[in-house]
Structure 1
Amino acid sequence: MNTFFSFLKSRNWMLWALILGVATGLIFGERVAFLQPIGNGFVKLMQITIFPYIVVSLIVGLGKFSPEQVKSILLKAATVMISLWCIGLAAIWCFALTLPQHDAGTFFSPALISPAASIDFAEHYIPANPFASLAQGNVPAIVIFCIALGSSLIANKRKTTVLDFLEVIGQGLTVISKKIIAIFPVGIFAMTASTAGTLSGEQLNNLQVYWVLVLCLGLYLMLVLMPMIVAAFTPIKYRDLILVMRNAWITAFSTGNVFIVLPVITEGIKEHLRKTNQADEQADHIAEVLVPIAYTFPSLGKLTTLMFVMFAAWLTGSPVGISDIPNVTLSAMLSYFANVHIAIPFLLDSLKIPADSYQLYLSMSVLSAKVVSPTTVIYIFSFVFLSIFYCRKQLHLKRLRSVYYLALLSVCLPIFMFASYTLNTHLAGNSKAADDIIANMVIAETVPAHVLNHVPKAYHSGELSLTNIDIIQKRNLIRIGYLVDNVPFSYFNQKNELVGFDISLAHRLADDLQVEVEFIPFKKHQLSEYLNKGYFDIAMSGLEINVVDLTKVRFSDHVLKLQLALLAKDHQLQRFTHKSDITNLSSVQFAHVEYGPILNKVTKQYPNIHFSELNNLKQYFTDSNNFDALVISAEAGFAWSMFYPEFGVIVPQEGSIKYPVGFAIAKRNLDLLSYINSWLDIQKANGKVHDAYNYWILGLGGQKKDTRWSLIDTYTRQPTQ
């Protein structure tokens, strides 16, 4: 027993806190969610010294160097950084090749029509107001300011007093950091337990291909590529490097935050050099200067999120080709100097990926941070160690160990790639195809319904043309007109049930009226005739509110505003990127079902653009070779692309047009119109329209949230009799 306790005492408490936290989360599940605020509190505690630390370490570190030393050190550090970038990017592109075959297609998202994110490098890197940069936490600007101030002190003969003062402050900050680190295992335990206890199976399954991809890449970078390069080129052994990085790695993994461990990294490097009798004043200064610089510049950890851009392109059926690699690489290196949340939308836009990809990234950011942050920690350690030994002229390959590690990391690359490809091929094979997802959607709350495939002869007499709420409630039936195959507003799912955005609202309306509902089909050109003859009471099927139909029927207040777009085969989309691309074509043929008034104006302005009206949307996919594209709403276009993944959606830049959709009612039925408008106001106010939009248009919230699984629930659950 004494031996056991001696073993525990000699081990790293952060590692034990991590293991215990995972175990606690798995055992107790959501019961330990209350620990999350404790973990967040420890993160904020760690941040107390960070900004002062960056300021002090950079100014003191640079100020103590001579001009010759600074020039030599920064040049060599830049060489090391660029070399690591090149090697790391090569590995990232290798892993991008492991994506399996995929049935593409995704739901619409407002991100599609959002303006492209522009990167303001001046705002991020020029400290116009250093105090504002400190207050806002703008790390790149702070680093630039400190480098400028530290460099200006290098040749100043009176710098000693200032540097001594700042060095004393730095020592005080180090003491504070060490005191906090001593109790930080409590924070590691709290964060890990709450995460492991509340992470749902849905989150793990969502984007599982990307998660496997980034995990295999991260493990290769963390455990193979970077540590083995350091072990091959420097006197540091692989095992020693892993041990010295351990505390910072565990903290970054648990918190998903690299910023708070910068002092831990610096002190770890200096402490290791002291233990191995390789420490000197210059090495300490290099560590103090390069650690914050490495954090500011794009790291290999940050660059692993480039894999998400590759994944998003693959997911939407437009994989990045070999010819795109130089462009994407250059754009990535420039954009990653800014924040990741600026870089990713910029890259997605530059690749013209028509999907809600950024929202997908955000949904996985908590999990992916568990790989990105520790990878960044190991990158900073590797970069600084390589730079220190390069400045000492101690980098060499004239050892058997060097050949061994370089050969090993080369062999491990195809092994990790094969593992990634095998796992993802299995996951992609087991996952639902895009069309299965939308074809299996159902209406959660329904009333007794009758779905007809024609207008009953009894309705042809015209006796039902005058309708109001009293009549509907008296006959215990509301009749709804719907368009067939108008995805995602009205269509038949795999169970042959009539579903969709408008159909779900029709069921809710019938429920509020406490009547049954009957659905009667119609074609777009029959709308006014069928309504005014009384074949149905209301038409609800994503109907465009336009000026021509306003003279024939009454429209409710708008339910949604949709974005006009083009749907075409994937290889044709680039022809319609900009409005000018379309107007400059000699002749172009577009199909459409609705939007007649809008398209007539386009034809008058641009005679080279021709439009052909179809009876229904499905007809386009049968005769798609006769047309260049289909004019459709972006919301509906994305839904159709899930059934036909070889098609994609694009909104031409500078050609954005929005239009309202609503319900149509016969002109004489003003009482019914008044009721519907008031009913819509209530549904919008209580969030029911918003919920329907999220489910049918965005594809969100389709599954009921289950209680998080835990061992204690499994053990205490009573067997079913």
Structure 2
Amino acid sequence: MTLSGRILVGLLAGVATGLFFGEMVAWFKVVGDVFVQLLQITVLPYIVASLIAGIGHMSMAHARNLAWRGAVVLLFIWAMALALIFCAALAFPDVDTASFFGSSTPMVVEQANLLELYLPANIFYSLSNNLVPAVVLFSILVGVALITIDEKEGILKVFDAVAAAMARINQLMVQLTPLGIFAIAAAAAGTMTIDEVGRVQVYLVTYIALALLITFWMFPGLIAAMSGIPFKEVFNTFRDPLVTAFATGNQFVVLPQIAENCKELLKRHGEDSEESHSAVDILVPVSFNFPSLGKLLVLLFVLFSAWFTDTALDMGDRASLAFGGLLSLFGSINVAVPYMLNSLQIPADMFQLFLVTGIVVGRFGAMLAALHIIVISVIGSLALVGRLRVSLRSMVRYLGLSVAAMVLMIGGLRLYFDHFVPPPPPRDEVLANVSLANEWLPFTVHTELPEPDFTRLEGTRLDHIFDTGVLRVGYRPENLPCSFITPDGELVGFDVEMAQYLAIDLGVALEFVPFSFEELKPMLDSGQIDVAMSCIASLPDRFAMASFTRAYLELRLGFVTLDHQRQMFEDLYTLRAQGPLRVALIQTHYHEERLKHLIPEADIVSLESAEEFFIDTSHGADALVLSVEEGSAYAYRYPQYTVIEPPVQIGYPAAYAVPKGDIETMEFLNNWIELKRMEGTIDAMYNYWMLGGAAQSREPRWSIIRNVLGWVD
């Protein structure tokens, strides 16, 4: 059996093992990591040795000729790739609002040090930290310097021997590929969930269809059309490194394999010269450092993100994406994607979705990156030695078949999406599936704001609760994540959970009554509510309405603003330099004075609720001042917004409100809060409601051994 066949068997066996055992085989990932690192042992030494030897053997004219022809081939491949990507985006179905995705945590963008990445100030540091572009630049400089040296044959023989030795070691390591692929596939199939891929099938299916078309026709067919080498031979020659790159999700580990296969292919067609071998040794490692097709396909994700979030892109935006996106991809993808999203004013939360989809498409991307290197190396080497055989007939046939294949792919995808892509959920259904972590007792929820009663109830509120046997808790209906009503009519949130604990500890029934800040004082005084529990900031101006317990949460103040404006709020100097800004506050004068000190020219707008900021833009505010915890929940529901902590950190307490002057009830709640803090209840609820635990909790991944056979719990 060929190596490709054994790799395929290992892949299928790994998938079957993962599906059977589920998360029980997650530890196989360690075995897969060991295999990938074994493959990487020879790669950097091979790059250094092959580049130095390949360039050193050339004349200066030969090197310039290779650089020129290689650049032309690279530009041609880039242009072809961009055309394929923008055509593939035509497959996205026509819907009014595509879909929704939000992240409950602020986005953290990786910052790249481009000088460190590309300039080998310390070559040993670059080698030890796997900074491939810097290593390649160093090797090119050494190779070019050797061109001008007369007595160089001795040192070039050393580099030739090192490159040959690294290739031999790599060939031995490659024989372990079926075992390594088995471990990688078992771990991936055992841990990946359907939910991770289900919501974004439009992107995933389009990406995979395009990747398969390019792999099985576009690029091998291009080599065949331009070289005269039969398509089948081209594909069979590079089958093993493509399968290995796909299975490992890493094109870097197959560079030596690609180089050896390129030389074998050229040798079979009469090109066994030192000139062609040197060209391969240079083009393979050098092309690795330029944006490959695997990287360029992230532009398809940006186009999908615009569709997904209903962001309109005109021709200028698309041209900007093509040019700016290509340049940004010279660095890290994890830096380039947030940059592209921000430049097109697409919600930055989509970057989190990009990371999730990378679990699936990353392997196809690695395979395409390897194929990209193969195309440049074969066509570039043949162009250098003057052996390209481009005929009008072969190119017309290739282009005709390629256009027909693209039309069929786009048409088939549109047909599939029109029938199988579900309509997007309404905005108010976001967070609809969030439920209480615990629900121990039934409770009554009133949804209509009662008419205020201005009579005053005598005695302490604690006595009143015990006398009536009912705890009436005031809540704000749209106060994510502290108290809010889901589309199913369920009242959930941090303080809804805490109110349950309080009612159980008091041994009374529980009712929830909505309140507004204007009516908070009469509602507390009259007994319409006994206590207000809804992440209320106990700020000085609110003590005129009620008395407050000690803080049960310490919240951090933040700005909620549109994603593409977030950089404006991250730096105090930039913020003040913007000129007049409109900033919204939720009915308190306390933060107004601090905000004017922070941003002297700010125009303050007072709102009744945070929801008003998002659903009614007539207020004209550029940002909403809210706690980071609450802001993160709203940014999840409205993904075009993000939450930013101001340059000067401001904290404030959240407390429970009781009737003004009711010392006994206040002291009782103070003691109760301390009990809940000491027993860990508050921390548990904070993790669940504020840190995304409500979305993270899940059952073990489905597996045959657990869910079908029932052999394990």
Displacement of 1:295 in angstroms is 1.1
Bigger drift between 62-71 and 28-37 goes to 28-37
| Conserved 8 A contact 2:101-2:350 | no
| Residue of structure 1 in register with 2:306 after alignment | 313
Bigger drift between 240-249 and 590-599 goes to 590-599
2: CA distance, partners of 1:246 / 1:575: 50
Displacement of 1:256 in angstroms is 0.6
Q: 1:582 to 1:515 in 2, by over 3 A?
A: same
* Corresponding residue SS for 1:307: helix
1: CA distance, partners of 2:404 / 2:83: 15
2: CA distance, partners of 1:43 / 1:382: 24
Question: Which of 287, 295, 311 is 1:302 aligned to?
Answer: 295
- 2:137 is the alignment partner of 1:139: no
| Conserved 8 A contact 2:3-2:240 | no
- 2:483 is the alignment partner of 1:490: yes
Residue identity over aligned pairs, in percent, reads 28
| Residue of structure 2 in register with 1:450 after alignment | 444
Question: Which of 523, 544, 569 is 2:537 aligned to?
Answer: 544
| Residue of structure 1 in register with 2:151 after alignment | 158
Bigger drift between 250-259 and 570-579 goes to 570-579
Bigger drift between 266-275 and 315-324 goes to 315-324
Structure 1 segment 239-250 matched on structure 2, within 5 A? 239-250=232-243
- 2:192 is the alignment partner of 1:237: no
| Residue of structure 2 in register with 1:52 after alignment | 45
| Residue of structure 1 in register with 2:221 after alignment | 228
Q: 1:21 to 1:670 in 2, by over 3 A?
A: same
Structure 1 segment 317-396 matched on structure 2, within 5 A? 317-396=310-389
Displacement of 1:144 in angstroms is 0.7
- 2:665 is the alignment partner of 1:673: no
- Which structure 2 residue ranges, 5 or more long, are not aligned? none
1: CA distance, partners of 2:649 / 2:306: 25
Q: 1:485 to 1:715 in 2, by over 3 A?
A: closer
* Corresponding residue SS for 1:278: coil
Displacement of 1:298 in angstroms is 0.8
Q: 1:372 to 1:465 in 2, by over 3 A?
A: farther
Displacement of 1:15 in angstroms is 2.8
2: CA distance, partners of 1:437 / 1:650: 16
* Alignment-mate amino acid for residue 239 of structure 2: R
Q: Report Cα offsets for 1:275-325 as digits up to 9, x if no partner.
A: 333332211111111111111111011111222223333333324432212
Question: Which of 653, 663, 675 is 2:655 aligned to?
Answer: 663
2: CA distance, partners of 1:474 / 1:142: 79
| Residue of structure 2 in register with 1:690 after alignment | 687
Q: 1:36 to 1:431 in 2, by over 3 A?
A: farther
Question: Which of 88, 95, 115 is 1:95 aligned to?
Answer: 88
| Conserved 8 A contact 1:310-1:319 | no
Displacement of 1:456 in angstroms is 11
* Corresponding residue SS for 1:438: coil
- 2:34 is the alignment partner of 1:41: yes
| Residue of structure 2 in register with 1:3 after alignment | none
* Alignment-mate amino acid for residue 275 of structure 1: R
* Alignment-mate amino acid for residue 48 of structure 1: I
Structure 1 segment 64-103 matched on structure 2, within 5 A? 64-100=57-93, 101=95, 102-103=97-98
Q: 1:290 to 1:188 in 2, by over 3 A?
A: same
2: CA distance, partners of 1:172 / 1:572: 54
Q: Report Cα offsets for 1:544-586 as digits up to 9, x if no partner.
A: 343422565325143432522247xx99999999999998999
Length, aligned pairs only: 699
| Residue of structure 2 in register with 1:111 after alignment | 106
| Residue of structure 1 in register with 2:180 after alignment | 187
Q: 1:355 to 1:547 in 2, by over 3 A?
A: farther
| Conserved 8 A contact 2:275-2:385 | no
Structure 1 segment 625-664 matched on structure 2, within 5 A? 625=618, 627=620, 631=624, 633=626, 648-649=640-641, 660=652, 662-664=654-656
Q: 1:451 to 1:389 in 2, by over 3 A?
A: same
| Conserved 8 A contact 2:583-2:622 | yes
Displacement of 1:679 in angstroms is 2.4
| Residue of structure 1 in register with 2:268 after alignment | 275
Relative to the length of structure 2, the TM-score reads 0.86
2: CA distance, partners of 1:301 / 1:216: 14
Bigger drift between 544-553 and 292-301 goes to 544-553
Displacement of 1:384 in angstroms is 0.8
| Residue of structure 2 in register with 1:63 after alignment | 56
1: CA distance, partners of 2:111 / 2:131: 17
Relative to the length of structure 1, the TM-score reads 0.85
1: CA distance, partners of 2:33 / 2:573: 51
| Residue of structure 1 in register with 2:696 after alignment | 701
Q: Report Cα offsets for 1:215-249 as digits up to 9, x if no partner.
A: 12322332232222222211222211211121111
| Residue of structure 1 in register with 2:162 after alignment | 169
- 2:547 is the alignment partner of 1:553: yes
Q: 1:157 to 1:581 in 2, by over 3 A?
A: closer
Q: 1:660 to 1:167 in 2, by over 3 A?
A: same
1: CA distance, partners of 2:374 / 2:204: 25
Bigger drift between 245-254 and 539-548 goes to 539-548
2: CA distance, partners of 1:258 / 1:282: 25
